[in-house]
Amino acid sequence: MDSIEDSDFETDNSHLFLNDEVINQYMDLITNRSPNTVYAFNTFFYLALSDKGYSHVCRWTKKIDIFSKNKLFIPIHIEDSHWCLVYVNFPEKAIKYYDSMGGRNFKCLKLILKYLMLEHDDKKGKDFHPSGWLLMNVKNCPQQLNYWDCGVFVCMFAEYLSRDAPLNFSQRHMDRFRRQITYEINRKKLRKSAPQKTKHTQH
């Protein structure tokens, strides 16, 4: 994992957007902190899934059993310049969509549920039963007050949710979070430890 510099932030009107590389490195840190219970896809996964279908991404998890995890995180890039997060919570049977600008995306939620069904059939050789699963656009998540901090919100949504912390941050924390993201990527380790979770039964 390479260190990051200011050049790894895309600039527009002197404001900083997190690019794919920064988000991917941070998602890797979240996975590496709790590898037995957490897995984060990279930023290219959802684009490939939505554009080309399951057959194009089925090999991405050749060495990963996502159903052995408790939590999946999927960063979503929409409308050319906006980042959101999908959070799959297996013990709760929930797929949740976090948008720091208050957007809703049932199409995305349904696509991820369909992905889980196809992945389970492909890797486990048996059906994944979607009954009882909750698809939710989270309404009360922290909201951004500008148009360039969505990537930071996505990283922090995943970081907090990965350790079951309440999403008690806001726009005023973003400058500090940017420094934290840079520090932790360069250090190659997150500062806080996630609590250990018991395994859930496979579906």
List the catalytic residues.
Answer: 82, 99, 150
Question: Which of helix, strand or coil describes residue 102?
Answer: coil
Parallel, antiparallel, or unpaired: how do β-strands 71-78 and 82-89 relate? antiparallel
Name the residue among 65, 66, 19 with its Cα closest to residue 43: 19
Residue type, 156: M
Whether 67 contacts 120, CB under 8 Å: yes
Which stretches does DSSP call E strand in 28-164? Answer: 38-40, 71-78, 82-89, 94-98, 134-137
Running DSSP on this structure, what letter comes out for residue 142? -
As given in the structure block, the two tokens for residue 82 are 């906006």
